[in-house]
Copies of this chain bind each other. A is one copy, B any other.
Amino acid sequence: MEQTAYRLTDIAARFGGRVLGDAEVSQVATLDSAQAGHITFLASAKYRAQLAATRAGAVILGESDADATSLPRIVCAQPYLYFARVSAFLNPPAQAVAGIHPSAVIAADAQIDPTAHIGPHVTIAAGAQIGARSIIMAGCSIGEHTVIGEDALLYPRVVVYHGCLLGKRLIAHSGVVIGADGFGMAPDAGRWLKIPQIGRVQIGDDVEIGANTTIDRGALDDTVIEDGVKLDNQIQVAHNVRIGAHTAIAGCVGIAGSTSIGKHCRIGGSAGILGHLHIADNVEISSFTLIGKSINEPGSYTGIYPFSKSEEWRRNAVHLRRLDGLAQKVKMLQQEIEVLRGENK
């Protein structure tokens, strides 16, 4: 894992910004752990004490902090975004080593682009297609007639069921399951009758899906993940959900069937959204919040029970089961006070 070194002036030539002093850097690091040869960043003035102590070779910072250090530095408008760009430049994604591992089992009519990499113990079923420069790592399983775009990266043990359409530059982490049956069944005299799930999963370009996240296939129509959506680990996306472009969802969120989420939304960890709802664009949902009604206006929404010491919680929470009673009592007190006031007049 040798890293190539670049001068700050090389970096600024590529990404802009003002260079003060110069240095050679080959890797990014935090203020605390950076060493010579590392470039770090100051995202906020509140970390100035750590900046004073850093052993970094260079720093990325904003105009207002330009003089906060005498280290070689790049001054720019958005230090965190700049840092992200530099890191992406210094740590480019792995390149596919073209070829199919002999232990992989590939259907005769599957179409594997000759520039793709297929790892050990992969299974690719009949009629599936793998795009140029895509990397399918060890033990993945790709179902019949599923299509995977160019430059995709599937980490070990990803499963994609049959008939799904996955876009370009998809990153799917280990344990992801795409296209399993949605949870669809009809009650039938005390038993459940399974409804065949004949829709597909469609995933746009530039989507990333975290480890052990599951995206179910549609019941009749498709489940759809639009371009640029970012899903963290252990998210559950039920059948016929649609997630709008560039929406980001943190870990452990559950989204029930047929719900549609807008573009550019942000959903916090362990939140939930009930089924058959519509969430507008640019909605922010807090962690641990259950959305039980459609949201038509952009904005920030929350429903979290605040924690406290357990004995304090116990004392308070008991009143939640009598809150209606308490509200009625207050109403009655108001009326009684009205009467008393009248009498006093």
Given the interface contacts A139-B141, A324-B319, does A304 sit within 8 Å of B313 by beta carbon?
yes
Number of interface residues of A (CB under 8 A): 128
Q: Is A289 among interface residues, defined by CB-CB distance under 8 A?
A: yes
Cβ-based interface call for A36 (8 A): no
Q: What residues on B are CB-neighbors of A291 within 8 Å?
A: 307
Against B, the Cβ 8 Å flags (1 = close, 0 = not) of A32-57 are 11000000000000000000000000
A108 within 8 A of B: no
Contact, CB under 8 Å: A344 / B344: yes
- On whether the beta carbons of A336 and B337 are closer than 8 Å, the reply is yes
Please tell me which stretch of A4-12, A66-74, A79-87 contacts chain B, meaning at least 4 of its Cβ atoms lie within 8 angstroms of it: A79-87
- CA of A334 to CA of B88, assembled, Å: 62
Quick one: given A105-B101, A333-B330, are A212 and B214 in contact (CB under 8 Å)? yes
CB atoms of B180 and A210 under 8 A apart: yes
Q: Which of A17-25, A109-117, A128-136, A170-178 contacts B (4 or more CB under 8 A)?
A: A170-178
Q: Is A238 an interface residue (CB 8 A)?
A: yes
Asked whether A196 and B91 contact (CB < 8 A) given A290-B307, A292-B304, A344-B340, the answer is yes
Bound-complex Cα distance A341 to B332 (A): 14
User: Chain A residues in contact with chain B, CB under 8 A?
Assistant: 1, 27-30, 32-33, 80-81, 83-85, 87-88, 90-91, 101, 103, 105, 119-121, 123, 137-139, 141, 145, 155-157, 159, 161, 171, 173-175, 177, 180-181, 183, 185-188, 190-196, 198, 206, 208, 210-212, 214, 216, 220-221, 228, 230, 232-234, 236, 238, 246, 248, 250-252, 254, 256, 264, 269-270, 272, 274, 284-292, 299-324, 326-327, 329-330, 333-334, 336-337, 340-341, 343-344
Interface contacts beyond A173-B181, A304-B313: sample of 15 additional A-B pairs, CB < 8 Å, sorted by A: A33-B220, A81-B187, A103-B121, A121-B139, A194-B208, A232-B236, A252-B254, A254-B270, A272-B287, A287-B292, A303-B307, A303-B308, A316-B320, A316-B321, A319-B324
A317 to B301, CA, bound (A): 13
Residues in B with CB closer than 8 Å to A29 are: 220
Give bound CA distance, A162 to B43, whole Å: 28
Option from B80, B186, B319 in Cβ contact (under 8 Å) with A84: B186
Chain B nearest Cβ from A328, distance in angstroms: 10
Shortest distance from the beta carbon of A133 to any chain B beta carbon, whole Å:
17
CA A287 – CA B271 in complex, angstroms?
A: 11
* Residues of chain B lying within 8 A (CB to CB) of residue A212: 175, 177, 212, 214, 234
CB distance from A241 to the nearest CB of B (A): 11
Taking the closest CB of chain B, its distance from the CB of A175, in whole angstroms, is: 5
| B306→A321 contact, CB < 8 A | yes
Which of B221, B232, B305, B306 is close to A33, meaning CB atoms less than 8 Å apart? Answer: B221
Question: A228 contacts B192, CB within 8 Å?
Answer: yes
